[in-house]
Amino acid sequence: MVSGMSDLTPLFEPYTFRSGVQVRNRLALAPMTTTSANPDDSVSAAELDYVARRSGGVGLAITAVAYVTPGGKGFPGQFGAEHDGRLDSLRALATRIRSGGAHAVLQIFHAGHNSPPELVGGDVTSASDVPSPQPGRTHVPVRALSRDEVRGVIADFGRATRRAIDAGFDGVEIHGANGYLIQQFVSAHSNRRDDEWGGTPEKRLAFPLAVIEEVQRVAAQATTPFLIGYRFSPEEPHEQGLTMHDTFALLDALRERNLDYVHVSLQDYAGSPRRGGDPDRSRLQQIAERLGDTPLIGVGNIWTPQDAARALELGATFVALGRALLLEPEWVQKVQAGRTDLRGTFSPADREALTLPEPMWGLLTNVMLKDRLTPDLVSS
């Protein structure tokens, strides 16, 4: 048996979300970038096999992120949810996830100024004409979205939600993290607007709240329980970037929106704030307290069952597993059975045994082995 197995009991408790969606445990597949879509941006057979295997034990399986509009594509090999022609692709994904007993959640986004120009016809857009701070993109020209375009993107999130419903997903996760468009509107670094979408901290929250409202409006039309989650990053390192003070304001607004859950994007679940908040307490603790009764998914450097249990102790309602499930697809089943043979390393001969698409394997070996994993490569 795993040492301290009784302490792991909370990981395997079922849960019923506000929407009525019921899951078998408190463990989720983190939404990891796979770069493995077909050339036409449909979900590939390799990605279906990858996600199906890792959905066999978790309660929730959150997909790699799908873009909601052509101008919002974020990276090569990304699958789309931007038009109705994607329904067969999305339906296949939802079906494979649900076949393992997990509930399927489609993560959706617009990459904003992090879109590679060659993927969006050279028209990179954001809240303002502020370039991406990512290395290699600081000199890429960026165009501020017009008011009409902002409203159009909001509608695109709603249309993608309808496709998720039609495809058989159990919910959507709005991707407001990792420096993509929604976060760009929230951040004073990237949002320099002086209209209703920016100019004050309150107005910088208008876009994510409008997206949530539209997604909720569409989800209300579903005939079966359908959950809505929201993902966010609590801090940004650059000048005028997000601090914990900004994040607390965002969390206050999210708490009022009756979401099924909020999902924090962290590299270390136990890490402390760098800018704002209490430096002597973990960000996870402070976020959970601020959210009150809104469920929280924690993530970041969770390898062992004890890590996962500790994340719950710090205030998370759920734990998302990223790299642990990459290296050990049956992590949940093994832990629940009390087994200790959890894979923590891999070799070049392991790709097929781990059911990893070749493009994703390239990410894993090139980045993980060099210990330069960023939030984007941990999860979508």
Residue-averaged pLDDT of the chain? 93
Query: Averaged over 123-136, what is the pLDDT?
Result: 95
Domain assignment of residue 257, yes or no: yes
SS3 154: helix
Domain assignment of residue 136, yes or no: yes
Name the active-site residue from 15, 50, 67, 180: 180
Report CA 107 to chain centroid distance, whole Å: 6
Task: Give the number of other CB atoms < 10 A from CB of residue 149.
Answer: 14
* Residues 323-368 pLDDT 10s: 999 999 999 999 999 999 998 777 777 888 898 898 888 877 776 5
Q: State the total domains in the chain.
A: 1
Domain assignment of residue 318, yes or no: yes
Q: pTM of the full predicted structure?
A: 0.94
Task: Say what the pLDDT of residue 369 is.
Answer: 53
| 180 catalytic residue (yes or no) | yes
* CA trace torsion 374, 34, 159, 231 (10° rounding): -30
Q: Is the distance from CB of 353 to CB of 7 less than 8 angstroms?
A: no
Higher per-residue confidence, 373 vs 230: 230
What one-letter code names the amino acid at 120?
A: V
Q: Quick one: tokens of 57? A: 């034990």
CATH of the domain at 48: 3.20.20.70
SS3 204: helix
- Residue 316 phi, psi (nearest 5): -70, 145
- Residue 297 phi, psi (nearest 5): -100, 125
Residue among 157, 107, 154 nearest 127 (CA): 154
- Cβ neighbours for 347, distance < 8 A, ≥ 6 positions apart: none
* Residues 232-264 pLDDT 10s: 999 999 888 999 999 999 999 999 999 999 999
Domain assignment of residue 107, yes or no: yes
Q: Is the distance from CB of 107 to CB of 31 less than 8 angstroms?
A: yes
Query: Averaged over 5-9, what is the pLDDT?
Result: 73
Task: Report in angstroms the alpha-carbon separations of 170 from 106, 229, 248.
Answer: 8, 11, 28
b/e map 165-184, b = 16+ CB within 10 Å: bebbbbbbbbbbbbbbbbbb
Task: Say what the pLDDT of residue 344 is.
Answer: 79
Task: Say what the pLDDT of residue 349 is.
Answer: 79
- 28 beta partners: 60, 320
Share of the chain above pLDDT 70, in %: 95
* Residues 42-94 pLDDT 10s: 999 999 999 999 999 999 999 999 999 999 999 999 999 999 999 999 999 99
Q: Which domain holds residue 267?
A: 5-374
Task: Report in angstroms the alpha-carbon separations of 351 from 22, 50, 152, 357.
Answer: 33, 11, 41, 8
E-strand stretches of 251-305: 261-264, 296-298
Domain assignment of residue 380, yes or no: no
- Cβ neighbours for 255, distance < 8 A, ≥ 6 positions apart: 290, 291, 292, 294
Domain assignment of residue 310, yes or no: yes
Q: Is the pLDDT of residue 117 over 60?
A: yes
Q: Is the pLDDT of residue 219 over 70?
A: yes
Tell me how long the chain is. Answer: 380
Q: Is the pLDDT of residue 380 over 70?
A: no
Task: Say what the pLDDT of residue 353 is.
Answer: 87
Domain assignment of residue 248, yes or no: yes
Element (H, E) at 66: strand 66-67
Task: Say what the pLDDT of residue 3 is.
Answer: 42
Task: Give the number of other CB atoms < 10 A from CB of residue 133.
Answer: 17
- The residue assigned the tokens 């100019």 is 199
User: How far is 249 from 241, CA to CA, in rounded Å?
Assistant: 14
Task: Say what the pLDDT of residue 262 is.
Answer: 98
Domain assignment of residue 379, yes or no: no
